[in-house]
Amino acid sequence: MKYVIVGGGNIGSVLAGELRRLHAKDEIVIVSSNVDKWSDRIDIYDHFDNLQYTARGIKVSDSFVNDADVYFYTLPKQILSREVKKHIALVQNKLVYFVFLPGTGGLEFLLPKDKKNIVFVGLQRVPYIARVKEYGHSAYLLSKKDSIYYAVIGQGASIDIGKLLEIKAIKLKTFLEVTLTPSNPILHTTRLYSMFSDHSPKHVYDRNILFYEEWTDKASEWLIKCDKELQKILASISIDLSSVKPLLVHYESFDEQSLTKKIRSIEAFKGIGSPMREVEGGFVIDLQSRYFQEDFSYGLFIIKAIADVVNVATPNIDTVLRWYQNIVNAKLIDEQNHAIISSEYNLPQNVGIDNEQKLVDFYNKYKN
């Protein structure tokens, strides 16, 4: 078997190590634009900076490799969408899997109807919390999920993702259970709104705020409000989406205060700063960060577009999106609080889905 990892960041680095450790006889290739910074080995460390293992024999390429069996994508969604479209046309005419970590962002709308040899696999959440230690040479595996949930869309043989990653894997009934997962698209966006919406994006802060350890009740309030709107979207669709748990359930909390306490206490989240960059006199928000570039336009906005399809009002989600579009001068929602349809984003409307029945038909066609 030949595995290709597209993207050599946090998750990609750890994934390369894990795949080499688990599949010693198979070929592992990293596709990266920074090949000169990569070694053919990577050291994997734990949370306490202890070396866990060294993975050797990893190949590196600066261009797409078209003869693999499985492709793992860990790129930011705004880059990923463009690359996937190109790669679909380049893969050899054999059954191949595109595995997305995670699979949120409306990626299923990129799958061409005429490509029967490509199967998309989307994880609800990433299997690891990971951080690069030295780019191309070492990374931290801070935690590994006990179980992962994933969905498949496309035709052909099924993939044993659990065996591949050596993690208990639960297959979902429909890819929509991935697309509407309230992870980063709601978690990151509401936190950013709660932190930064009271000031101009040029406001200089005296320090970089810890994203999770300094989580606030205001952030929890907005997180819960937007998650409740997501639950209304789920309830309006005549598909069993019961695996998409409310965030209060996911974080074993019952109100704003308990949610704040829970998020602040998660060991693997400690030490993670906010998307800010240092300037003279302090720090400003970094609008080029993945938190901004990905989680709004390719996260929360996809949820908003689906809400429009099923006619569910989302005033709190609208507020967060409107703040973002104002500070980056984007066009996401109009004056009537409807998603502005654009081919730039992975929207259901772009593939002709404009009502609940068409949405259901689309996903039932690929029901697992």
Secondary structure tally for the chain: helices H, strands E = 12, 14
- Chosen domain end from 145, 171, 197: 171
Residues 125 and 103: their CA atoms lie apart, in Å, by 8
Mean pLDDT of the chain: 93
Residue 116, pLDDT above cutoff 90: no
Q: What is the pLDDT of residues 47-85, one digit of tens each?
A: 899 999 999 999 999 999 999 999 999 998 888 888 998
* CATH number of the domain bearing residue 27: 3.40.50.720
Model confidence at 242, pLDDT cuts 50, 70, 90, reads: confident
Helix (H, G, I), strand (E, B) or coil at 295: coil
pLDDT of residue 76: 86
One domain, residues 161 and 209: no
Model confidence at 234, pLDDT cuts 50, 70, 90, reads: very high
Sign, CA torsion 28/31/36/42:
negative
Domain that residue 61 falls in: 2-171
pLDDT of residue 341: 95
One domain, residues 314 and 255: yes
State mean pLDDT over 28-44.
94
Give a three-class secondary structure readout of 80-147: HHHHHHHHHHHCCCCCEEEEECCCCCCHHHHCCCCCCCEEEEEECCCCEEEEEEECCCEEEEEEECCE
Helix (H, G, I), strand (E, B) or coil at 261: helix
pLDDT greater at residue 29 or residue 154: 29
State mean pLDDT over 313-330.
97
pTM of the model: 0.90
One domain, residues 220 and 301: yes
Residue 236, pLDDT above cutoff 90: yes
One domain, residues 302 and 331: yes
What is the percentage of the chain residues whose pLDDT exceeds 90? 85
Residue 297, pLDDT above cutoff 90: yes
Q: What is the pLDDT of residues 274-296, one digit of tens each?
A: 999 999 999 999 999 999 999 99
pLDDT of residue 368: 53
pLDDT of residue 367: 60
One domain, residues 26 and 155: yes
- Token pair recorded at residue 179: 């697309």
Structural domain count of the chain: 2
Residues 6+ apart with CB under 8 A from 362: 348, 351, 353
Residues 98 and 94: their CA atoms lie apart, in Å, by 13
pLDDT of residue 277: 97
State mean pLDDT over 123-135.
94
One domain, residues 126 and 245: no
One domain, residues 92 and 16: yes
Closest CA to 118 of 146, 137, 99, 103: 99
One domain, residues 206 and 162: no
pLDDT of residue 114: 75
State mean pLDDT over 299-320.
97
